[in-house]
C-alpha cells in the first residue's frame, strides 16, 4: 500500500467518497427538493444548463407553494454550481443540492459538487426526497484490476479482471516437443532441444507479461494470478527472466484443468477468495512492517494522538496510519480567559467521545467562561484534508485483520512510520536554508538557534514550515 504514494492517495479519495455516500444516504428532505445530478466526462455543460432551464419552467407549475419554492431554489443552486465550470472535468461531474431536514427537525441547505477520482460513465438527473448515490457506490465496487497468466504446454493467455469485467489482452500457441524414450544415441540431443524450446517459451511468456502488465515503469494491476495445468506456472514464478516487479505482485498459483479461455474462467473461480482479500493482504503487510519497527526498537515509529501529531508537525512522519473508524474529534477553540492575548487565544483539542463529556475542556479554568467553538471535525477527516502539507502518505486501515485489530486496541488506531534520521535532517536543512533565504525578519541570534538545533538533532525549537519547503524534498 505505502510503496505507491499515488495508490495511497487514491485510497484516501475512496475513503472520502465512502464517507460522503454514508452522509448523503442518511439525508432526507420534505417534498422533492433534493437534486442528484451526474454528468459524464464527454457531456457538455451547455446541454445540462439548457435542461435545467427547462426543468425550472416545469417546476414553476408545482401546486404546493412550499415544495415549489424548495425545488426552484435547489435548481437555482445547481445552476450556480455549474457556472463554476467552463467544461465537464475529465472524470465527469457530480452535484448534490437541496434542503434536508436535520435530526433536530431544522432545515439545512446542502450544496456539493466534485469531480470523482475516476471516470463516471453515468448520466443522471433526479428530484426526490433523498439523494441518489447508486452510481457512486458502483464506482467503488470495481476499483482494483487483477492480471492473469494462463500457461501450459500448448500456449499462454494474458488477461485482466476488473470488477465483473473480464478481458483477454493477448494469447499465443506453442508446439513443444514431448518427452519420449526414442533416439538411441541422439536421446541427449533431443532432450537438450526440448529443454531449450521450453526455456525460450518461458522467456517469451515473461517478456510478454512485462509488456502487458508494466506501464511507465509501474505495474498496472493490483495483483497477479499464475494458472496452469503443468509446472510451467511454478517455473515462470521462480524464473530470473520474470520481472521482479511482477514477481512481487503474484497473489496465487492456481492448478487448472484447461488452457486458453476456459482455463482463464476456471482460474478466476479458483482465485476468488484471494482477489477479494487483496487489500486485506496489503493492510496486513503495512501494519506488520510498522510492528517490526516497534519490536526492533528502531525509533522509526510513533503512536497515539499526541506522539503522532508532534512527529507530523516536525515533518518526521513518512507513512501516517489511521484506523478508518477513529472516533477522536479535533476542536479549535477561541479562549476568553484573563491572560489571553491575540497570539495565544486559539486552543486545539483532540478528544474522544468519553473525554468530550468533561465540559472543563471547553471552559476557562480561572474564570469559568466558556470557550468559543471555531471549528470541530473528526481527526481522520482533518488528516485526509491536510496530510500532504506535512509531506506524509496517509494509509487508512481497518480492524478486520489480526494486525489491524491489534493496532486499534493496542495503539489507539493512530501511528506512523518515521523518516530515516538522515532524510529528516536533510529535510530540515533545506527548510531552514529557504526560511533564512526568504525571510527578512530572521535575526542572527535566531540563525544560531536554527543551526544548533540541526547539529544536535533537536526539533523542539524548529517551527512548522510551509508546504512550499516540503516540495524541495
Q: pLDDT at position 366, please? A: 75
pTM of the predicted protein model: 0.65
- Cα–Cα distance list, 106 to 33, 52, 101, 112 (Å): 15, 27, 6, 19
pLDDT of residue 229: 82
Could you please state the CATH topology (level 3) that the domain comprising 145-177+198-276 is classified under.
Answer: Nucleotidyltransferase; domain 5 (3.30.420)
All 3 cell numbers of residue 92? 465527469
- CA–CA dist 91, 114 (Å, integer): 10
CA 109 – CA 30 distance, rounded (Å): 12
Domain ranges of the chain: 23-135, 145-177+198-276, 286-419, 423-470
Give the C-alpha separation, 227 to 268, whole Å. Answer: 9
Q: Contact at 8 Å (CB) between 208 and 156? A: yes
CATH class of 23-135: alpha beta
Beta partners for 396?
322
**pLDDT tens for each residue of 446-457:** 433 333 333 333
Take residue 45 and report the three cell numbers written for it.
455543460
3-state secondary structure the chain: CCCCHHHHHHHHHHHHHHHHHHHHHHCCCCCCCEEEEEECCCCCHHHHHHHHHHHHHHHCCCCCHHHHHHHHHHHHHHHHHHCCCCCCCCCCEEEEEEEEECCCCCEEEEEEEECCCCCCCCCEEEEECCCCCHHHHHHHHCCCEEEEEEEECCEEEEEEEECCEEEEEEEEECCCCCCCCCCHHHHHHHHHHHHHHHHHHHHHHHHHHHHHHEECCEECCCEEEEEECCCHHHHHHHCCCCCHHHHCCEEEEEECCCCHHHHHHHHHHHCHHHHHCHHHHHHHHHHHHHHHHHHCCCCCEEECHHHHHHHHHCCCEEEEEEECCCCCEEEEEECCCCCCCCCCCEEEEEECHHHHCCHHHHECCCCCCECEEEEEEEHHHHHHHHHHHHCCEEEEECCCCHHHHHHHHHHCCEEEEECCHHHHHHHHHHHHHHHHHHCCCCCHHHHHHHHHHHHHCCCCCCCCCCHHHHCCC
Distance of CA 417 to the CA centre of its chain: 17
- Burial of residue 33, with CB atoms counted within 10 A of its CB: 0-12 exposed, 13-18 middle, 19 or more buried: buried
All residues at 6 or more sequence positions from 264 whose CB lies less than 8 Å from its CB, including other chains:
148, 150, 157, 159, 166, 168, 227
**Phi and psi dihedrals of 297, rounded to 5?**
50, 50
Instruction: Answer yes or no: are the C-beta atoms of 40 and 121 closer than 8 Å.
Output: yes
Flag residues of the chain having pLDDT under 70.
1-5, 141-143, 163-165, 179-187, 189, 277, 336-344, 421-473
Cell numbers standing for residue 258: 484447461
The answer to whether 312 and 260 are in contact (CB under 8 A) is no
d(CA 219, CA 195): 30
Looking at residue 462, what is its pLDDT?
38
Among candidate residues 221, 223, 280, the one with its CA nearest the CA of residue 252: 223
Q: Are the folds of 23-135 and 145-177+198-276 the same?
A: no
Is CATH 3.30.1330.30 what the domain over 286-419 is classified as, yes or no? yes
- The pLDDT of residue 95: 96
Amino acid at each position: 500500500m505505502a510503496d505507491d504514494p499515488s495508490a495511497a492517495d487514491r485510497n484516501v479519495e475512496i475513503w472520502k467518497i465512502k464517507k460522503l455516500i454514508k452522509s448523503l444516504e442518511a439525508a432526507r428532505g420534505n417534498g422533492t427538493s433534493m437534486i442528484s445530478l451526474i454528468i459524464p466526462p464527454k457531456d457538455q455543460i451547455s446541454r445540462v444548463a439548457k435542461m435545467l432551464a427547462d426543468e425550472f419552467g416545469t417546476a414553476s407549475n408545482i401546486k404546493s407553494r412550499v415544495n415549489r419554492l424548495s425545488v426552484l431554489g435547489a435548481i437555482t443552486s445547481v445552476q450556480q454550481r455549474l457556472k463554476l465550470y467552463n467544461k465537464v472535468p475529465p472524470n465527469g461531474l457530480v452535484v448534490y443540492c437541496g434542503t434536508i431536514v436535520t435530526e433536530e427537525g431544522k432545515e439545512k441547505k446542502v450544496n456539493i459538487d466534485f469531480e470523482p477520482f475516476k471516470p463516471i460513465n453515468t448520466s443522471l438527473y433526479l428530484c426526490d426526497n433523498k439523494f441518489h448515490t447508486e452510481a457512486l457506490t458502483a464506482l467503488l465496487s470495481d476499483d482494483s484490476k487483477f492480471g492473469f497468466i494462463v500457461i501450459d504446454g500448448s500456449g499462454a493467455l494474458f488477461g485482466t479482471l476488473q470488477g465483473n469485467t473480464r478481458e483477454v489482452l493477448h494469447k499465443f500457441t506453442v508446439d513443444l516437443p514431448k518427452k519420449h524414450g526414442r533416439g538411441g544415441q541422439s536421446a541427449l540431443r533431443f532432450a537438450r532441444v526440448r529443454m531449450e524450446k521450453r526455456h525460450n517459451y518461458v522467456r517469451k511468456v515473461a517478456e510478454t507479461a512485462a509488456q502487458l502488465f508494466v506501464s511507465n515503469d509501474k505495474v498496472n494491476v493490483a495483483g497477479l494470478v499464475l494458472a496452469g495445468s503443468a509446472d510451467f506456472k511454478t517455473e515462470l514464478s521462480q524464473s530470473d527472466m520474470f520481472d521482479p516487479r511482477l514477481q512481487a505482485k503474484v497473489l496465487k498459483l492456481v492448478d487448472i484443468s484447461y488452457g486458453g479461455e476456459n482455463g482463464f474462467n476456471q482460474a478466476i473461480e479458483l482465485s476468488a477468495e484471494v482477489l477479494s482479500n487483496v487489500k486485506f493482504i496489503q493492510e496486513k503487510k503495512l501494519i506488520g512492517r510498522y510492528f517490526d519497527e516497534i519490536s526492533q526498537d528502531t525509533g522509526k515509529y510513533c503512536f497515539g494522538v499526541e506522539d503522532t501529531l508532534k512527529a507530523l508537525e516536525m515533518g518526521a512522519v513518512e507513512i501516517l496510519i489511521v484506523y478508518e473508524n477513529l472516533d477522536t474529534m479535533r476542536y479549535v477553540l477561541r479562549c476568553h480567559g484573563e491572560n489571553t492575548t491575540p497570539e495565544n487565544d486559539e486552543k486545539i483539542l483532540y478528544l474522544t467521545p468519553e473525554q468530550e463529556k468533561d465540559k472543563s475542556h471547553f471552559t476557562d479554568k480561572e474564570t469559568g467562561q466558556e470557550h468559543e467553538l471555531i471549528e470541530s471535525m473528526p481527526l481522520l477527516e482533518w488528516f485526509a484534508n491536510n496530510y500532504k502539507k506535512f509531506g506524509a502518505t496517509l494509509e487508512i486501515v481497518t480492524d478486520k485483520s489480526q494486525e489491524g485489530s491489534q493496532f486499534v486496541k493496542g495503539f489507539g488506531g493512530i501511528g506512523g512510520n518515521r523518516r530515516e534520521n538522515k532524510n529528516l535532517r536533510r529535510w530540515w536543512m533545506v527548510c531552514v536554508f529557504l526560511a533564512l533565504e526568504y525571510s527578512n525578519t530572521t535575526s542572527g541570534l535566531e540563525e544560531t538557534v536554527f543551526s544548533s538545533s540541526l547539529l544536535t538533532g533537536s526539533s523542539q525549537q524548529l517551527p512548522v514550515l510551509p508546504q512550499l519547503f516540503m516540495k524541495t524534498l
